[in-house]
Structures are given as C-alpha cells and as structure tokens.
Amino acid sequence: MSGGRSDKRRAILDGALTEFGRDGYARASIDAIAAAAGVSTRTIYAHFGNKAGLFESVIQESATRVADTQIAIVERHLGKVVHLEADLEAFGLELTEPMTGFRDHFSLVRHVNADLDHIPPAAIEAWQDAGPRRVVGALADRLRQLADRGLLALGVPAENDPDAAAKLAASHLMLLVQGAVPFHHGVGANREPDRESMVQAGVRVFLRGYLPAPGSGSRRPAAG
Amino acid sequence: MSGGRSDKRRAILDGALTEFGRDGYARASIDAIAAAAGVSTRTIYAHFGNKAGLFESVIQESATRVADTQIAIVERHLGKVVHLEADLEAFGLELTEPMTGFRDHFSLVRHVNADLDHIPPAAIEAWQDAGPRRVVGALADRLRQLADRGLLALGVPAENDPDAAAKLAASHLMLLVQGAVPFHHGVGANREPDRESMVQAGVRVFLRGYLPAPGSGSRRPAAG
DNA sequence: GCCGAAGTACAACCAACGTTTTACTATTTG
DNA sequence: CAAATAGTAAAACGTTGGTTGTACTTCGGC
C-alpha cells in the first residue's frame, strides 16, 4: 500500500517525538511509543538499540527539521530587507507560528533543557549544532549584513569571537520575539490573541536597542 | 541537639528540593529524598501524604522564598532610583545571582515548565501566584512609578487590564536580564564571566525600548 | 512513671518498565 | 524454490519504585 518497506523508522520517530514531547524521557514508555507508531517494541530495538539511542535520534532529527524551517523564515524575511521594522515583525510573527505547529518538538526541548544532567554531553552538542546554533548563526549573518548596510549597530566585537556581537544580538532578537509565545495554555498570563502585539513590542524593543544612533556611520549602540 | 522535635519537615523539604531539582518529578525517588533528608520514607508519607503532595509543598515553599528574595532585590535597587541605567544594571546583576545561589529551585522550575501537562492546574496556579506573578507585579509597580516620574514610557494600557503595559515591560526586563545567565554549563554558548556584560547589554536594550522620546512628558514608546 | 506523638527500620505488595527470548509470519531477492 | 530480511506477538526476566503495615524506639509533658 503506502510504502515499499521501511516507513517503520519514520513512524517510530514520529510516535517517539509525540510521546517524549508530552511525557519527557523518563515518563515516556517504549510500549506507548510502539503503540503510537503502530509497531512492535522489538522493531524499535532493532532500529535504535535502546531507549537512549532512540531519544538521541529523535531530538537530532526533529531539531534539524525545525531549524531548517526557521532558517527558511530568516532568509525569507531578512534576506532582502526593504522596511526593517515591518520585515522584523513579519519575521517574528512567522517564527512564532511553528511553535504551535511543531508543538511536540518545543515541548521536547523544554524537557531536554530541564534534563541536561541526564543526557550525554555528546548528544547535547550534536543537538545544539544541528538545531539552535545553526538558526542563531543564520540570523546573526543577516543581522551583520544589515549592520554593514548601516541599518543596525551591533556593538563592539570580542577578540576571541568576532561574531559574538552579532550572535548576542541574534539571541536577543530570538529572546524578545519568542518570549511572546506562552509556554502553554496561559502560564505567563498571556493570551493567544495578543501574539501579534507581543511580537511588535519585542521588535520595537530590539530596534530601540540596536538601531544606530542617528547621524553615525556604524557605531556601537551606546557607551559602556 | 539542634531542634526540639520537628525540623524533620524542613529537612524533607530541603532534600526533596535537591532531588526534584536535579532529577525532576518522575526520576526522583522517595528513597533518595529520604536519604538526602536523613529521614525514613515513612516520615515523608506521614508529613505529605504522597509523592505528589510532597512535590506541591516543595515548589510552593521554594517559590515563595525565591520570590521574597527577588522582590527584596527589586525594592533595594528600584525603590529609590537615582541613576536609572546604573540602578537597572545593579538590579539585573543581583537578580541573576540567586540563579546560582538557588540553583536547585531554578532547576526545578525548568522541570515544572516542561511537565505542565502532568501537574494539577491548581498546583500550577498556586505556584505562579506565590512566585513569578508576585515578582512581575512588584517589578511592574516600580516601573509604573518610574513612568509616572517620566523616566520611562511604558506604552498604551489595555482596556481590561490597566497594568498590562507595565507587566509587559516587567516581563521584557526579566527576560532580557535573565536571558544573560546560561541554563547550564555553557549550553547557550555563553560563558560565565560575561554575565556582567550580558546584563549590561540587556539593560541597554530595555532602556532603548522604554526610554521616553526626548522632549515628551510621558508618551508611549512608538507608534504602532 | 506513664502516655502518646513522632520517628525508625524493615519487610512486603503491587505495578510499571526496559530489555531479551522465542516462535511465528510475510515479503523480498537471488 | 530457498534464503534472507523485517516485522509481529506474547511471554518472561530482573529491577525499580511508590506505598503500606508492623513492631520497635525516643522523648517530652502531665
């Protein structure tokens, strides 16, 4: 019918993302994952060895997909900037959308951030490299490009990492824009409908922080 | 020696905070908590009924203590403001300090935020009311006071919640300032020593966003 | 000195879970 | 056809963990 042989692997990854995302590593059971994937538990062990191996595959694969999506959004809105504020707002709006679309993934990420002590460092590095660092890097590239055009002032770079200023600004933008979306059903006392205004506010704050002082070629935002 | 009878309860709460913070609810075991508290497991059930009851007591108690500390920091630095930027920086610096001092608590909070689906809503509300909402409220009060003096421009308030603008600004400040401290040993690619400069950067961004336009009594920061 | 509250040590119960084993089926490939 | 490959179903193993029951100890207050 649907597949030649092995969409089993895909089904397992999907089911595991759902279960791990909802319940976290410890609570999620192999049996539940097998049921969600429509697969026998033995097949999971055949593909991924053990629970830990499955988990690493799940987060790395999911992070890659999400990062690809987010980088595409970065490029779409910040590749050719015509009106900085409007483009940043559109960027932020579309960036916070996947957080509902990829609900399971971001739920999983929260679990990972809480469980860092129980995850092998190699797995963490692999995940960060495949996901968040790639996004921040892409965003930093675009911000530096805008700074070169004189549209932004990113501040003085550090000696060791010349991109530190751009990465910091990128982190700030992500923080301000993603802080707009509540973790869950209204934990931060924020309601859904004001996502747009929350993003606008975040962008406005970002711009106030990183707009070059009027009448300066490309200076740092302020004196220490 | 040290106590008449029942510091047992305190010892249990402390030990449980350590264990829950390191391992999360599911992984933390009653036996380990009992051992950490120097107490028999039976005593834990005598005091708190069951694991869930213990957990709720732990987070509520801990959140209250941390919030008290943070509110004191808010008042100390933002009660009598003389030099806004310097005071905000000192505030941010001292606010991010407890995150290492109360390491277990913030670790626990990350677990809670990831485990929201598995925690009774009543417990979540109680925790939010006892902790984060009180801090944001206190900070918002001070920001509104600064806005009244014309030192800040918080934006237009919403109809339903007149304090929404102040609370949003307070959330932004917390976000920018606390985003400076890495979750763990360098997950965000940030190193410890630059906490000071991270806080400075965050405050600078905040001020650029919420400083009143020069030569305006008390306007909103920008047009929509 | 006695009572009762609080605590302890220890065993036991029961359920859940990760993992392996075994026996069996279906499908592809040479 | 034969052999390998991938998958399934179900039981079993060993461990861990939450929870309870029970008998024993402390110790402060009357």
**What is the nearest nucleotide to B45, using C1' and CA?**
D19
Biggest distance spanned by C-alpha atoms of chain A: 67
Residues contacting nucleic strand D by the 7 Å CB criterion are A 5-6, 8-9, 38-43, 46-47; B 4-5, 28-31, 41-42, 45, 50-52
pLDDT for position A157: 76
User: How long is the CA B42 to C1' C11 vector, in angstroms?
Assistant: 13
pLDDT for position A101: 86
Tell me the C-alpha distance between A56 and B180, whole Å: 28
Q: In this predicted model, what pLDDT tens digit does every residue of B65-91 receive, in sequence order?
A: 999 999 999 999 999 999 999 999 999
Q: In this predicted model, what pLDDT tens digit does every residue of A177-210 receive, in sequence order?
A: 887 665 544 344 444 446 888 889 889 989 989 9
Nearest Cβ partner of A22 from B117, B171, B184?
B117
Mean pLDDT, chain B, as a whole number?
Answer: 88
Q: Is B182's Cβ below 8 Å from some Cβ in A?
A: no
pLDDT for position B2: 45
Work out the percent of chain A whose per-residue pLDDT is above 90: 70
Task: Average the pLDDT over B161-187 and give the result.
Answer: 77
Biggest distance spanned by C-alpha atoms of chain B: 67
**B183 band by pLDDT with thresholds 50, 70 and 90:** low
The answer to whether A173 and A196 are in contact (CB under 8 A) is no
Our measurement of the distance from residue B202's CA atom to the centroid of its chain's CA atoms, rounded to an integer in Å, reads: 17
* Domain residue limits, chain A: 57-210
Q: Residues near A209 by Cβ (< 8 Å), separated by ≥ 6?
A: A172, A221, B204, B205, B206, B208, B209
pLDDT for position B186: 39
User: A77 or B218: whose pLDDT is higher?
Assistant: A77
pLDDT for position A45: 97
Q: Is B117's Cβ below 8 Å from some Cβ in A?
A: yes
The answer to whether A138 and A74 are in contact (CB under 8 A) is yes
Q: Do B113 and A168 touch (CB under 8 A)?
A: no
pLDDT for position B181: 62
Q: In this predicted model, what pLDDT tens digit does every residue of A91-132 receive, in sequence order?
A: 999 999 868 889 999 999 999 999 999 999 999 999 999 999
Tell me the C-alpha distance between A123 and A135, whole Å: 18
* Cβ of residue B65 lies below 7 Å from strand C: no
Residue (of A99, A108, A148, A152) closest to A18 by Cα position: A108
Which residues in B lie closer than 8 A to residue A128 (C-beta atoms)?
187, 189
pLDDT for position B38: 96
Fold of A57-210: Tetracycline Repressor; domain 2 (1.10.357)
Phi, then psi, of B213 in degrees rounded to 5: -60, 135
pLDDT for position A143: 98
DSSP string of B157-183, one letter each residue: PPSS-TTHHHHHHHHHHHHHHHTTS-S
Q: In this predicted model, what pLDDT tens digit does every residue of B109-135 receive, in sequence order?
A: 999 999 999 999 999 999 999 999 999
Work out the percent of chain B whose per-residue pLDDT is above 70: 86
Question: Protein footprint on strand D: which nucleotides are under 7 Å from a CB?
Answer: 6-11, 16-22, 28
pLDDT for position A205: 86
Q: At what angle do helices B195-210 and A164-178 cross, to 10 degrees?
A: 60
Tell me the C-alpha distance between B224 and B208, whole Å: 17
Q: Do B26 and A26 touch (CB under 8 A)?
A: yes
Shortest distance, CA B223 to any CA of chain A (angstroms): 10
Residue B151 pLDDT greater than 60, yes or no: yes
User: B187 or B152: whose pLDDT is higher?
Assistant: B152
Phi, then psi, of A175 in degrees rounded to 5: -60, -50
Task: Average the pLDDT over B196-214 and give the result.
Answer: 89
Residue B136 pLDDT greater than 60, yes or no: yes
The answer to whether A201 and B168 are in contact (CB under 8 A) is yes
pLDDT for position B217: 53
What are the Cα distances from residue A48, in Å, to A28, A44, B216? Answer: 16, 6, 63
Q: Domain B51-210, what architecture?
A: Orthogonal Bundle (1.10)
Task: Average the pLDDT over A132-159 and give the result.
Answer: 93
pLDDT for position B189: 44
Residue A217 pLDDT greater than 60, yes or no: no
SS3 B155: coil
For chain A, counts of helices (H) and of strands (E): 11, 0
Which of B143, B204, B206, B219 best tests the A interface by mutation, with the highest count of A CBs <10 A? B204
Per the document, the length of chain B is: 224
Q: Is B24's Cβ below 8 Å from some Cβ in A?
A: yes
pLDDT for position B113: 94
Q: Is B198's Cβ below 8 Å from some Cβ in A?
A: yes
Task: Average the pLDDT over A50-60 and give the result.
Answer: 97
A127: closest chain B residue by CA: B187
pLDDT for position A218: 44
Which residues in A lie closer than 8 A to residue B116 (C-beta atoms)?
183-184, 187
* Cβ of residue A194 lies below 7 Å from strand C: no
Residue B190 pLDDT greater than 90, yes or no: no
pLDDT for position B34: 98
